[in-house]
Structure 1
Amino acid sequence: MGDMVTETDTATYKTKVTAAFNGAAATYDRLGVEFFTPMGARLVDIAGPRPGQRLLDVGCGLGATLLPAARLVGSEGSALGIDIAEAMIEEAGREAARQDIGNVDLQVMDGEHPDLPARSFDLVLGSYSVIFLPDARAALARYAGLLRDGGRIAFTSPVFTRDTFPFLPPLFTDLIPMSLLRHLPPAWHPEQLHRQLHSWLEDPADLTTALHTAGFGQVEITDETVDMTARSGEAWVEWSHTQGMRLLWQHLPADEAATLRTRLTTALNALRGTDNLIHIDVPVRYVTATVSR
């Protein structure tokens, strides 16, 4: 695959992503690892939803960002969560009911092409979702069109560096041999990932330019660490099968997968703290911007 991604490539990618998240919905972020919940809560803190606002959460998953944001906009506001995976939407609905949050609407929808009215939201959120869309920069411009005058976008991204294993904290660069990437499909090889993601997300100046081009101003970028916790190395490995690393597990030969699993569980279990949990610092980039009109 070259620099240009064809419609067939995109459709195939979205089909695979939908199937993966439908399959993972029942256990997604519920396997003894805490990451998306604290990251989503922090994104909401930074975004600062206010009572009465209308907000949209793109790629809402089980509601780690959507639900705390919905609480803040209150009964006079509304919160719409969209996700490409129907099972995620169903699980998020059940979670909203469990938490007795009644101002939430959930719809199965392609976050890259949201079929929603123009200028109908005060805030668009996207935690580890927006930036992974096949053409995220074009999607950003569509979100600008969905925002009312003065509306804002807030999203998270990994802090990309060229010397770390894709999508994982620096710790794993020493634990996962980069040579294993040879088993990935061409679209996920390092050089392709650099073109799709690093080329505009790694340098804050490039990210700011992309947001300006999409129709946003007042860009603020903050890098922080999220304290990922896992109850065991085994739990983290199981969790990784439902997250960004799942594609690697799917393509590893059985013997190499078994070796990697042992290596990871042993190394992670050795990191247990006095609270009997494994703590992993995950660099996360928090981005906010205001529509330029």
Structure 2
Amino acid sequence: MVEVPDEIRAARLAELFDLVVDSYDNVGVPFFGPIAERLIAEVDPRAGARVLDIGCGRGAVLFRLAEAVGPGGEVVGIDVSPKMVAATAHEARARGLTNVSVQVMDATAPTLPRGAFDAITASFMIFFLPDPAAALTAWRSLLVPHGTVGVSTFGAWDPRWEQMEDLFGPYRDRAFFRIDPRDPNGPFGSDGAVEGLMRTAGLVHPRTVAFDLDLFFDDTEQWYAWTRSHGQRQLWDSIPAGDLDRVRDAALARVDGWRDEQGRITSRHRIRLTLAQRP
């Protein structure tokens, strides 16, 4: 497998999220919002705190943090996608949030003042990074002593998603994504593994909280739109045009079988929240 240089990987990641900027968290399926609420509840930033949100996307965590820290606090959001940053900054202004700023920045090595933040959040983005432990080490230096970092990742996957692997597996771009977050033996394969990343980065007192998040889709087309509205779009876009209709039709046929007793298409995701502190 040919290694993709980190700068090319970052550029491709930015392009991916530039593509989904309008649909991201905007197809009628609450996903990032409920996760953000639980993550912030666990990080529990105090009023007046200064918090950094890494991979801020369209602001699911960022805007809730702004409310949590209040007008006397400050929230900084960074994201590799220029279009995400522009859209989120525009929305922050529209909301009248004077305690929020957003910048284009690579999460692997943020160019921000050391020891400046009481807490750092990173929701559903750390598994995109080529070296998560190195990124966490860089983030640790941005925290005040005893400051908290909190990340959200996937816990156990719904078995029905795993049963789609024969459709999507042949098209996964393993050169682009060095780490498969579904790998049970990988750095995101268990609570202990993610806590181990924290320890490797020099963070202490790691702990994990997990919960189940149920998603409901009106029909198979909404499921398809949802999977194309975030990072999974990269998988769809990696399928050659000649194969896309076949793979899509087969996937939608299986998803149609995910209906519950009320006839709703459902999907359950185990969400993992992992927190640790700078010594």
Q: Given the two structures, how large is their TM-score scaled by the length of structure 2?
A: 0.89
Match for residue 108 of structure 1? 104
Identity of aligned residues (%): 27
Q: Does 230-239 or 72-81 show the bigger shift?
A: 230-239
Which letter maps to 1:114? P
The structural deviation recorded for 1:241 is 1.9
Alpha-carbon deviation of 1:47? 1.3
Deviation at 1:184, TM superposition (A): 2.8
Q: Name 2:27's counterpart in structure 1.
A: 31
Q: Which amino acid aligns with 2:160?
A: L
Closer/same/farther in 2, CA of residues 276 and 36 from structure 1, 3 Å limit: farther
| Contact persistence 2:127–2:181 (CA under 8 A) | no
Find out whether 1:242 has 2:229 as its counterpart. Answer: yes
Q: Which amino acid aligns with 1:181?
A: G
Call closer, same or farther: CA 1:110–1:194 in 2, change over 3 Å.
closer
Change (3 A) 1:34 1:137: same
How far apart are 1:125 and its partner, in Å?
0.1
Tell me: CA distance 1:137–1:117, structure 2 relative to 1, closer, same or farther (3 Å).
same
Residues 83-232 of structure 1: pairs in structure 2 closer than 5 A: 83-159=79-155, 169-174=158-163, 176-178=164-166, 180-187=168-175, 193=180, 198-232=185-219
The superposition leaves residues 204-247 of structure 1 with CA deviations (integer Å, 9 ceiling, x where unpaired) of 33322321221211111122112223332202212212323222
CA distance in 1, matches of 2:254, 2:127: 30
Q: Which residue among 47, 53, 60 is the counterpart of 2:56? A: 60
One-letter amino acid of the counterpart of residue 188, structure 2: L
Distance 1:94 1:270, change over 3 A: farther
For residues 99 and 226 of structure 1, do their structure 2 counterparts lie closer, same or farther at Cα, with a shift above 3 Å needed?
farther
1:271, CA displacement in angstroms?
Answer: 4.3
Of 46, 56, 59, which aligns to 2:42? 46
Contact 1:24/1:242, CA 8 A, preserved across alignment: yes
Per-residue deviation, 1:32 = 2.5
> Aligned to 1:287, what secondary structure does the other structure show?
strand
Number of matched residues? Answer: 279
Indicate the SS of the match to 1:280: strand
Distance 1:274 1:184, change over 3 A: closer
Q: How far off is 1:44 after superposition?
A: 1.1
Match for 2:198: what amino acid?
Answer: L
Give the structure with the higher percent helix. 1
Residue type matched to 1:34 in 2? P
The Cα RMSD (Å) is: 2.6
CA–CA separation in structure 2 for the residues paired with 1:15 and 1:42: 30
Runs of 4 or more, structure 1, over 4 Å off, are: 194-198, 269-277
Alignment partners' CA distance in 2, 1:195 and 1:274: 28
The 1-side partners of 2:49 and 2:66 are apart by: 9
CA distance in 1, matches of 2:264, 2:91: 25
Whether the 8 Å CA contact 1:232–1:265 is kept in 2: the answer is no
CA-to-partner distance for each residue in 1:99-153, whole Å, 9 max, x for gaps? 3332111001111110000000000000011232111110101111000011000
After superposition, the Cα gap between the structure-2 partners of 1:276 and 1:69, relative to the gap in structure 1 and judged at 3 Å, is farther
Partner of 1:11: 7
1:273 CA drift (Å):
5.7
Write out per-residue CA displacement over residues 239-293 of structure 1, whole angstroms, 9 at most, x where no aligned residue: 212323222212223454223322333443454568775332111110011111x
- Residues 57 and 81, structure 1, Cα contact 8 Å, conserved in 2: yes
CA contact (8 A) 1:222 1:285 kept: yes
Q: Structure 1-normalised TM-score? A: 0.85
* CA shift in 2, pair 1:76/1:19, >3 Å: same
Change (3 A) 1:33 1:255: farther
Measured after TM superposition, the shift of residue 48 of structure 1 is: 1.0
Deviates more, 1:29-38 or 1:47-56: 29-38
